[in-house]
């Protein structure tokens, strides 16, 4: 798909109220796509829509929880009834929690996986069949993380593990969609200045409810690059037909990636010829 194909068509982005989702939505709007901004936060959606007013495209907002499969399918049906079927679907919604898998609270673990993993699957199930049925160029994007490329360490092992799973779903979709001529891009960005550190501000009650962190916690993220840096690499990958789009924002990501896979190769045991 070329970005010029987006003109006059619809692009839908989940987790679109800010951060990577909003940066992607703006890049699609600037290519002429009409935009559906989907997020769980009403107030943030209204602000995001206002920021796209200068693009001159149609913008509609939808409040939805991607972890709710029935709600996502109902939303896709309702949009299709309005003749809104995305030509560009970007599955971006994601949350983080500073919890360990070994002793983390059940609700925190379920929340991270229900959004990052199952939310990706439910969003694809809701919209991909309608994209397949609708003729014309189409593309699906999945936001994973550079954490899927390097060893899982640091203060967010639960998040990193969930993003490994997200990337695997993206790769599965890439292969599934080939027969329908729909490209799939798996975005693996490095650290960016987003609000993911404060994901708990929008946590539903069934997962423990809202949790606002002190603003000082976000200082580490605020020193990073802004999400707009991903727009160029994403466009190049989409227009090349999709695949992995790794945006390195930290200088040691490639070194960690290569060391990780070198170590794996050294531990390989081949019994296939025994």
Q: How far apart are CA 124 and CA 144, in angstroms?
A: 14
**Among 113, 159, 164, 180, which one carries the catalytic annotation?**
159
What letter would DSSP give residue 44? H
Return the bridge partners of 119, or none: none
User: What is the pLDDT, as a whole number, of residue 126?
Assistant: 98
User: What is the pLDDT, as a whole number, of residue 166?
Assistant: 97
User: What is the pLDDT, as a whole number, of residue 251?
Assistant: 84
> Would you say the C-alpha torsion 79, 230, 220, 120 has a positive or negative sign?
positive
User: What is the pLDDT, as a whole number, of residue 244?
Assistant: 97
What is the tally of helices (H) and strands (E) in the chain? Answer: 9, 7
Give the predicted TM-score (pTM) of the model.
0.93
User: What is the pLDDT, as a whole number, of residue 74?
Assistant: 98
> Could you give the 3-state DSSP secondary structure of residue 97?
coil
> Could you give the 3-state DSSP secondary structure of residue 12?
strand
Q: How far apart are CA 147 and CA 190, in angstroms?
A: 8
| Neighbouring C-beta atoms of residue 208, cutoff 10 Å | 16
Q: Which of 62, 2, 7 is nearest to 30 (CA)?
A: 7
Q: How far apart are CA 107 and CA 111, in angstroms?
A: 6
Q: How far apart are CA 136 and CA 204, in angstroms?
A: 37
Q: How far apart are CA 161 and CA 165, in angstroms?
A: 7
> Could you give the 3-state DSSP secondary structure of residue 183?
strand
User: What is the pLDDT, as a whole number, of residue 211?
Assistant: 75
User: What is the pLDDT, as a whole number, of residue 213?
Assistant: 60
Q: Which of 22, 179, 41 is nearest to 90 (CA)?
A: 22
CA 237, 89, 31, 133: dihedral to nearest 10 degrees? 100
Q: Which of 139, 191, 142, 140 is nearest to 167 (CA)?
A: 142
Q: Which of 22, 1, 29 is nearest to 11 (CA)?
A: 29
Return the bridge partners of 97, or none: none
Q: Which of 32, 138, 42 is nearest to 85 (CA)?
A: 138
To the query of whether residue 3 is one of the catalytic residues in this protein, the response is: no
User: What is the pLDDT, as a whole number, of residue 250?
Assistant: 86
User: What is the pLDDT, as a whole number, of residue 91?
Assistant: 98
Q: With a cut of 70, which residues of the chain have pLDDT below it?
A: 195-198, 200, 212-224, 274
Q: pLDDT, tens digit, for every residue of 186-231?
A: 999 988 777 665 676 778 888 888 776 666 655 655 666 889 999 9
Find how far residue 74's CA is from the centre of its chain: 20
């Amino acid at each position: 798909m070329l970005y010029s194909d987006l003109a006059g068509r619809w692009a839908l982005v989940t987790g679109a109220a800010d951060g990577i989702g909003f940066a992607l939505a703006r890049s699609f709007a600037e290519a002429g796509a009409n935009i559906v901004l989907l997020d769980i936060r009403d107030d943030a959606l209204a602000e995001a829509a206002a920021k796209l007013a200068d693009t001159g495209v149609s913008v509609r907002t939808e409040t939805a929880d991607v972890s709710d499969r029935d709600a996502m399918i109902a939303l896709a049906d309702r949009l299709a009834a309005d003749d809104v079927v995305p030509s560009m679907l970007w599955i971006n919604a994601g949350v983080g929690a500073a919890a360990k898998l070994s002793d983390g609270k059940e609700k925190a673990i379920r929340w991270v996986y229900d959004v990052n993993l199952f939310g990706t699957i439910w969003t694809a199930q809701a919209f991909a069949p309608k994209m397949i049925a609708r003729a014309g160029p189409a593309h699906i994007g999945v936001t994973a993380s550079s954490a899927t490329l390097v060893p899982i360490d640091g203060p967010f092992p639960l998040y990193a593990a969930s993003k490994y799973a997200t990337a695997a779903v993206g790769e599965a979709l890439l292969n599934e969609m080939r027969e329908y001529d729909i490209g799939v891009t798996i975005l693996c960005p490095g650290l960016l200045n987003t609000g993911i550190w404060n994901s708990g501000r929008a946590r539903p009650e069934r997962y423990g409810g809202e949790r606002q962190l002190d603003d000082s916690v976000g200082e580490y993220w605020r020193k990073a690059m802004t999400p707009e840096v991903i727009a160029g690499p994403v466009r190049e990958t989409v227009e090349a037909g999709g695949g992995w789009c790794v945006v390195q924002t930290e200088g040691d990501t490639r070194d960690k990636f290569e060391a990780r896979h070198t170590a794996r190769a050294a531990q390989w045991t081949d019994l296939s010829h025994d």
